[in-house]
């Protein structure tokens, strides 16, 4: 059989881990300068336009 665990502690640990993952994602998303964000958005837009330009019309 498995080990006996305190469910309250397990739930709290799981919640803390989920919040930590959200915090990491937000650090990546919001923790950059505006110029860097704009540059990345421009690159993504350029790639999307290139991909759309290669679509075949039937």
Residue 32 pLDDT: 84
Distance, CA of 54 to CA of 16 (rounded, Å): 45
Which is higher by pLDDT, 55 or 23?
23
How large a percentage of the chain has pLDDT more than 90? 67
Residue 1 has pLDDT above 80, yes or no: no
Residue 29 pLDDT: 85
| DSSP 8-state assignment for residue 30 | H
Please, which pLDDT band fits residue 58 given cuts at 50, 70 and 90? confident
Q: Find where tokens 């305190």 sit.
A: 6
Which is higher by pLDDT, 29 or 42?
42
């Amino acid at each position: 059989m498995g080990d006996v665990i305190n469910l309250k502690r397990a739930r709290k640990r799981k919640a803390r881990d989920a919040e930590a993952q959200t915090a990491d994602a937000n650090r990546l998303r919001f923790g950059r300068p505006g110029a860097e964000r704009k540059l990345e958005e421009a690159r993504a837009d350029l790639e999307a336009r290139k991909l759309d330009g290669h679509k075949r019309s039937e």
